[in-house]
């Protein structure tokens, strides 16, 4: 099934704006097929699974259809469960964000009638309800169906399984004849066929064609991950498998932006690709990825289409793809030229059902894997560190520091004490990963990552601002001795009285500055974490605002003191005895 751009589907500007705000880049196959047909006024029978984007496939035309000046129910969506009703209502609310005067209302059993009466008398036009509760309201005459223009049965087969068939028939008999009727169902068993025959007029059938696709012979695994832990698990996997070249797929542009920022803040050389970037920006990113100057590319499906890079070790599905077809396209980026590759998919909550569909569609097995513990990552790092150390010792290619070491030995420190303290210092350098996830509380990080320096240096050669679209200005990056003056024109370096010792990450500074002052993130530049302070570059025009708003507030359990870095340097030089 073909995919289209939303702009090709005949949608009103305010609806396109709502879609844009949600970060959808292109219509999913079911949306591409169903939206134009529904906008033309035809009845539709859609056969598609959860996760295919079916809610927006009927939700978008429904919103477009609503006459916002008429304060009466115009669209009725029937769902099998309260969870689904709430979910559908939320999606509709987001899509209708820019269409003024449109109100949606979920009505389901278990919620107080009062609230639902209020919503109904306030003039909600899109009613999303479970059949039982809709019947109750009809009996109480609190819900009127005489202005209904469209009825949608979402997950019709499930509603039937749950015994709602009579309720559905009763409801459908009460809506005006002149209306559109839409059925969405994963399967179309006989009783549904009968309902369709009775209640629709020449329905257009849209279904996801199951295409025979060949899945490359690669290792496919999935992890069941709570949404909030995805980032941590991702970092662990990258660290554990020492991934050097990977693509991470996210569902939306926002997610791509966010994840890229998090990865950069944790010290990975990551960059991004999505539809909001100009062609020139995209080409620059792809060139850097091909040169291996970027180790991780975070992308949406659209942006990564046509990306042709060999030797990608792992494809991560940070968000589950819409359908089997997208899954196959995504994972086909690894395991090129007969080389082994790996596809890792994160599955949150009920998404497991979507994964089962994908497995059926691709006729391949996706193995469940166990989330590595922080200790395993640490153990692997320790081994790698020991190997790197041994190699350096064998090669003998290092500068000797006999004098310093002799003096420490003379002070009665043992060689093991000294070496351990050194490892400790080295380990502290790294801002990557290392947070607890709900199932394990350990987050110790004792060993430095021997590959990190090499990676950072690679990134330093031609860092592009980590995909933030701001060339040559990484928020974070290799730790270096930062001076008190910014290297960037128009930026002023500020010193914050919080540093690595207070367990802060570079991203925390971006968060607090942007959060408190509302200045765009683009006006915050390089961030240099030091032991007890941090130097942050801020656009000159914003310095006064940052000093005024941030001084004295609580941050990481401390009272924040911020001042221009150069000022502090002058003071401390003046204070030093001659």
Residue ranges that bind ligand AMP, judged by CB under 6 A: 24, 27-28, 31, 50-56, 91, 251-252
Strand partners, 265: none
Q: Would you say 224 or 241 has its CB closer to ligand AMP?
A: 224
CA Rg value for the chain: 29
Q: Would you say 352 or 503 has its CB closer to ligand AMP?
A: 352
Q: DSSP characters for 15-42? A: HHHHHHHHT--S--HHHHHHHHHHHTT-
Q: Would you say 7 or 414 has its CB closer to ligand AMP?
A: 7
Q: Phi then psi for 298, rounded to 5 degrees?
A: -105, 130
Shortest distance in whole angstroms from residue 520 CB to ligand AMP: 25
What is the C-alpha to C-alpha distance for residues 67 and 45, in angstroms, rounded to an integer? 24
Shortest distance in whole angstroms from residue 533 CB to ligand AMP: 42
Q: Would you say 153 or 536 has its CB closer to ligand AMP?
A: 153
Shortest distance in whole angstroms from residue 84 CB to ligand AMP: 9
Q: Would you say 31 or 260 has its CB closer to ligand AMP?
A: 31
Shortest distance in whole angstroms from residue 475 CB to ligand AMP: 27
280's CB contacts (< 8 A; 6+ apart) are none
What is the C-alpha to C-alpha distance for residues 387 and 383, in angstroms, rounded to an integer? 6
Between CA 234 and CA 236, with CA 235 as vertex, the angle to 5 degrees is 90
* 521 secondary structure, DSSP code: G
- Position of tokens 């000022």? 567
Q: Would you say 56 or 145 has its CB closer to ligand AMP?
A: 56
Contact 351/379 with Cβ under 8 angstroms? no
Contact 77/99 with Cβ under 8 angstroms? no
386's CB contacts (< 8 A; 6+ apart) are none
What is the C-alpha to C-alpha distance for residues 569 and 567, in angstroms, rounded to an integer? 5
Contact 381/447 with Cβ under 8 angstroms? yes
Contact 471/486 with Cβ under 8 angstroms? no
Shortest distance in whole angstroms from residue 152 CB to ligand AMP: 12
Shortest distance in whole angstroms from residue 322 CB to ligand AMP: 6
Q: Would you say 26 or 261 has its CB closer to ligand AMP?
A: 26
Shortest distance in whole angstroms from residue 95 CB to ligand AMP: 9
Between CA 118 and CA 125, with CA 120 as vertex, the angle to 5 degrees is 140
Q: Would you say 192 or 255 has its CB closer to ligand AMP?
A: 255
Q: Would you say 87 or 116 has its CB closer to ligand AMP?
A: 87
Shortest distance in whole angstroms from residue 83 CB to ligand AMP: 11
Shortest distance in whole angstroms from residue 2 CB to ligand AMP: 13
What is the C-alpha to C-alpha distance for residues 480 and 174, in angstroms, rounded to an integer? 72
Q: Is the dihedral of CA 261, 262, 264, 265 positive or negative?
A: positive
């Amino acid at each position: 099934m073909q995919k289209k751009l939303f702009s090709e589907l005949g949608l009103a500007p305010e609806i396109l704006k709502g879609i844009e705000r949600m970060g959808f880049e292109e219509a999913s196959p079911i949306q591409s097929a169903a939206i134009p047909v529904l906008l033309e006024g035809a009845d539709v029978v859609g056969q598609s699974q959860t996760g295919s984007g079916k809610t927006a496939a009927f939700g978008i035309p429904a919103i477009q259809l609503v006459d916002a000046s008429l304060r009466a129910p115009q669209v009725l969506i029937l769902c099998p469960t309260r969870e689904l009703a709430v979910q559908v209502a939320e999606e509709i609310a987001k899509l209708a964000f820019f269409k003024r005067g449109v109100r949606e209302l979920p009505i389901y059993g278990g919620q107080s009638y009062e609230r639902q009466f209020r919503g109904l008398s306030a003039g909600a036009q899109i009613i999303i309800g479970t059949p039982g509760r809709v019947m109750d309201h009809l009996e109480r005459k609190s819900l009127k169906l005489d202005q209904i223009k469209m009825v949608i049965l979402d997950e019709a087969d499930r509603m039937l399984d749950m015994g709602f068939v009579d309720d559905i028939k009763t409801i459908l008999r009460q809506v005006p004849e002149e209306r559109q009727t839409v059925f969405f169902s994963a399967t179309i068993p006989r009783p549904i066929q009968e309902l369709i025959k009775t209640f629709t007029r020449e329905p257009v059938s849209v279904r996801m064609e199951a295409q025979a696709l060949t899945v490359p012979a690669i290792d496919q695994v999935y992890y069941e991950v709570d949404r909030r832990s995805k980032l941590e698990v991702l970092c662990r996997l990258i660290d554990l498998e020492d991934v050097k070249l990977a693509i991470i797929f996210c569902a939306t542009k926002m997610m791509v932006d966010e994840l890229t920022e998090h990865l950069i803040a944790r010290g990975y050389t990551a960059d991004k690709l999505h539809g909001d970037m100009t062609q020139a920006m995209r080409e620059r990113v792809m060139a850097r990825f091909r040169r291996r100057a970027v180790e991780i590319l975070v992308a949406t499906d659209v942006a990564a289409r046509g990306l042709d890079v060999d030797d990608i070790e792992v494809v991560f599905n940070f968000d589950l793809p819409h359908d089997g077809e997208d899954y196959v396209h995504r994972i086909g980026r690894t395991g090129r030229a007969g080389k082994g590759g790996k596809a890792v998919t994160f599955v949150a909550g009920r998404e497991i059902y979507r994964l089962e569909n994908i497995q059926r569609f691709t006729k391949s097995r996706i193995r469940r894997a166990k989330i590595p513990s922080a200790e395993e990552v640490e153990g692997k790092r320790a081994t790698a560190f020991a190997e790197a150390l041994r190699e350096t010792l064998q090669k003998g290619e290092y500068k000797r520091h006999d004098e310093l070491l002799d003096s420490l030995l003379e002070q009665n420190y043992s060689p093991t004490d000294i070496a351990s303290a050194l490892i400790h210092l080295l380990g502290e350098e790294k801002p990557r990963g290392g947070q607890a996830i709900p199932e394990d509380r350990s987050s110790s990080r004792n060993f430095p990552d021997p590959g990190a320096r090499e990676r950072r240096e690679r990134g330093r050669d031609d860092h592009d601002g980590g995909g933030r679209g701001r060339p040559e200005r990484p928020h974070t990056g290799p730790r270096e001795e930062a001076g008190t003056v910014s290297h960037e024109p128009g930026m002023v370096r500020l010193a914050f009285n919080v540093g690595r010792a207070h367990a802060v990450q570079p991203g925390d500074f971006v968060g607090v500055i942007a959060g408190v002052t509302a200045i765009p993130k683009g006006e915050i530049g390089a961030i240099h974490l030091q032991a007890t302070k941090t130097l942050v570059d801020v656009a000159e025009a914003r310095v006064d605002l940052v000093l005024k708003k941030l001084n004295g507030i609580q941050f990481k359990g401390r009272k924040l003191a911020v001042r221009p870095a150069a000022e502090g340097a002058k003071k401390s030089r003046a204070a030093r005895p001659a």
